[in-house]
Structure 1
């Protein structure tokens, strides 16, 4: 363990007992608790490490639920960790393929290994970072099916050979602390797949051996970088696209090239296609301005990333606005679809887009705040909001022009700005 390790003070009986004795993290009470623990004789470095873990456990509850209260975390490891419902779906795929052993390469904090071991699979969890491997060791202690090794994926695979009944799961490191820190406070993200650790070419070389293999990547990877002969599954959780998993060989489902899996608190839904990425379904012609009516449907991000918007529109009986715009419409008399794969808005009013027209509309309607959604147009919502909403003087009583409506309080509206053919349009909508 490096001398500078933030986890080292916690990997002792005293440290483990202290961090597990702390109350739920409260930022307003952290300074007082810090002083109290120091006065009780705990070393400053142990107190700092314990309070940091308390904060990380609070943040980790969103991904790990109740498990987070007895786990160890690193900030970057938590950023990249797989949510437990997603890890459980990964584990089921290995189990359903008849595998008994899985190597989790780039195991991070052990979320996927935890899910695999909970299904009775024998797991070897591998990570090249010493701190992360130490955290994974603690997190997987309750599971005798799992063991952790501190080594690289490349070294482990060279040792493994090609045994029967083994599957591989890879989660390449996509952040590099040596490149500074990003806007989220973590190590800076890497976008080039060949700069991942291990690189994507290492994954495809392993897949060529025929081993059952899955790899987790960032959901924004361009379609033209996705290898052939794999199933690409984009996964969203509660409306947030969290990953794309590429499945090779026995882990890929026959006849499926693209999939979108939409997880919500009450359901898991899936949309699939056997067509390759350049074979997206085309809409049945572009709608005219009069077609922007009824229910305007905004697909889940996983559906959009997987290029399955037209497939979803056809399934629900809708028509797309444009081949390159991820909205479609349903007739006005339609009931909102009972699916988490799309969010619907009822169109109340439409008109051609212009800043001047919007400013007049805001004044006439007495609107005080707007949510602006946009697709297929070069509009910056924050800038447009400043251009069309009145300033503080404009909101004072009596400042509106004669004949404009008066309101008893704040008036909020949702605007969708999009394109129909070559014409930019505004739709005033009511979210459903």
Structure 2
């Protein structure tokens, strides 16, 4: 969407049209567009409204019903923080005693929405004129939130009364390709980190693939997953650190949350496959805290290089998905095909770690037949390729809030 399209959307006619559109349906978009044009609606307004309708439908995954009153660009929606995650960001600032926060790279305003929603005074900046305009619309219900088209790094924080900073540097180039080098972020990560000398309460959203070698020693780095997907990592400085510098993970699932810190429990033991197999959450793995899971369930690794934990007794944890081990066998196509056919398995979930096997290719080779369902894990056990036949165990109920 360009500035002209946004201007037309924000007119009384445009806003009324956007509000009157039916729920987005890709199959009916062309017919709806043609009908609106026949009715005399400006074609540019029609295109802008239908684009927003499509983006709002996509945005429900991140913003739930809030998306219905917001405006987006494709790239802005792609990078925007999920509202549930942004709420956890906001709680850090409140707990640290921050009263006025500068959102230095506000984008469409997702994090600023959460900051304003908990009562913080917000100064939101973005260098792009269109993006700043969208953020202004999205924050219109919060008089304590001010949006400026400006370089956030150039703001006089002392003069503005700012006592907390947040930044979400762009990690994609104009073509949409991801950027993994922190020096290639926009603005560069080093430039943002340097701001902690002026305002110690600094938080920075970074890509979850950031290497441990690039982590600043004085930050708490927290990886966050939501419903099993690792969505971000955050660098938290000064009073925003919960338990001082180090690595942590936040697991959000089914409207509940649990956090785990690096408690230096030491390397876990490695041994045989027990009665249960635990697959640590991706945020836990990225944070390098698999040993925490092993310690919690009195378990061990099945291989020193594989992030699977096994235990002899059932110890459910929200930090991992638990499976009951039904059988183990050396990997071999013929043996596995025979095993599954004897049990009538026609629908198979294939999980893998530490093996080059491609699940979809294997599924075709197995030529599954039958009505039963099954789950197998292809991995290494003590250095040898193994197949673990497993079944999921119901997950535990987690705490509704993280202190």
TM-score over 0.5 (shorter chain): yes
3-state SS of paired residue (1:347): strand
Map 1:42-121 → 2, pairs under 5 A: 42-121=41-120
Deviation at 1:161, TM superposition (A): 5.2
Match of 1:283 among 252, 268, 274: 268
Partner of 1:401: none
Change (3 A) 1:45 1:271: same
3-state SS of paired residue (1:189): coil
* Residue 320 (str. 1) matches residue 295 (str. 2): no
* Residue 365 (str. 1) matches residue 343 (str. 2): yes
Match of 1:295 among 276, 284, 288: 276
Partner of 1:427: 388
Change (3 A) 1:355 1:8: farther
Distance in 1, Cα, partners of 2:219 & 2:69: 37
Map 1:4-403 → 2, pairs under 5 A: 6-156=5-155, 159-160=156-157, 166-177=163-174, 180=175, 187-209=176-198, 211-273=200-262, 275=264, 281-284=266-269, 286-287=270-271, 291-331=272-312, 333-334=313-314, 337=316, 339-389=317-367
Deviation at 1:274, TM superposition (A): 5.1
Contact 2:218/2:245 (<8 A) preserved: no
Contact 2:217/2:245 (<8 A) preserved: no
Change (3 A) 1:132 1:210: closer
Contact 2:60/2:67 (<8 A) preserved: yes
Q: 1:5-30 CA deviation, whole Å, 9 max, x = no partner?
A: 55343132221221112121122222
Distance in 2, Cα, partners of 1:387 & 1:31: 42
3-state SS of paired residue (2:355): coil
Q: 1:170-195 CA deviation, whole Å, 9 max, x = no partner?
A: 00011111xx2xxxxxx221111111
Change (3 A) 1:354 1:62: same
3-state SS of paired residue (2:15): helix
Deviation at 1:374, TM superposition (A): 1.2
Distance in 2, Cα, partners of 1:259 & 1:162: 34
Distance in 2, Cα, partners of 1:136 & 1:119: 18
Structure with max Cα Rg: 1
TM-score, normalised via structure 2 length: 0.92
Distance in 1, Cα, partners of 2:7 & 2:179: 28
Deviation at 1:164, TM superposition (A): 5.8
Where do 5+ consecutive residues of structure 2 fail to align? 394-403
Change (3 A) 1:116 1:386: same
Deviates more, 1:91-100 or 1:375-384: 375-384
Contact 1:256/1:272 (<8 A) preserved: no
* Residue 412 (str. 1) matches residue 401 (str. 2): no
Contact 1:108/1:133 (<8 A) preserved: yes
3-state SS of paired residue (1:368): strand
